[in-house]
């Protein structure tokens, strides 16, 4: 198994595939958006943020994660956010989520961020295992989620 994690700008053709995967994975959340609209909103990079990483396994799209300036409307004072962590269902439990989360953390460090944030209701075990600090339980888009922080006292561990 050959895993590559690259910036979206190096594999732009994956944007539409990932947009459709998101629509399929979260049909209620993306019910009123087409794959094209999701691609435009979520899989378009900018010079600053978002930074979007794409994982491929043996040349096949396997997952993605992003670093965005904003995510949770009730917590706009926090930034940046790890968002859109997704792994192809048939490739889960192989460490790809961990690899993607590590890669985006390194990207944040390289960009000079001292803390990063994320929310999840499905991958708490991963964030806990990787040393993220659970700082609050909140309701986000009607779901109870845990708000996590990585980095402390102004620096990543």
pLDDT in tens, 1-51: 899 999 999 999 999 999 999 999 989 889 999 999 999 988 988 888 999
Does the pLDDT of residue 157 top 60, yes or no?
A: no
Start-to-end CA span in the chain (Å)? 30
CATH class of the structural domain 3-150: alpha beta
Residues in Cβ contact with 38 at an 8 Å cutoff, skipping those fewer than 6 apart: 19, 20, 22, 23, 30
Rounded Cα distance between 125 and 111, Å, is: 26
Q: Where are the domains of the chain?
A: 3-150
**What SS3 class is residue 127?**
helix
Q: Is the pTM here over 0.85, yes or no?
A: yes
Does residue 80 have a cis peptide bond before it, meaning omega lies within 30 degrees of 0? yes
CA–CA distances in Å: residue 145 to residues 31, 61, 70: 20, 27, 16
Rounded Cα distance between 88 and 109, Å, is: 26
């Amino acid at each position: 198994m050959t895993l590559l994690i690259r910036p979206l700008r190096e594999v732009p053709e994956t944007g539409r595939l990932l947009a459709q995967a998101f629509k399929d994975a979260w049909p209620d959340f993306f019910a009123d958006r087409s794959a094209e609209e999701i691609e435009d909103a979520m899989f378009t990079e900018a010079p600053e943020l978002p930074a979007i990483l794409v994982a491929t396994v043996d040349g096949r799209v396997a997952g993605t994660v992003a670093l965005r300036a904003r995510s949770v409307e009730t917590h706009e004072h926090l930034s940046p956010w790890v968002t859109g962590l997704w792994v192809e269902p048939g490739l889960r439990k192989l460490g790809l989520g961990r690899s993607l989360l590590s890669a985006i953390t390194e990207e944040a460090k390289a960009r000079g961020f001292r803390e990063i944030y994320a929310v999840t209701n499905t991958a708490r075990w991963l964030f806990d295992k990787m040393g993220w600090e659970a700082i609050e339980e909140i309701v986000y888009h009607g779901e109870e989620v845990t708000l996590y922080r990585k980095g402390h006292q102004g620096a990543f561990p």
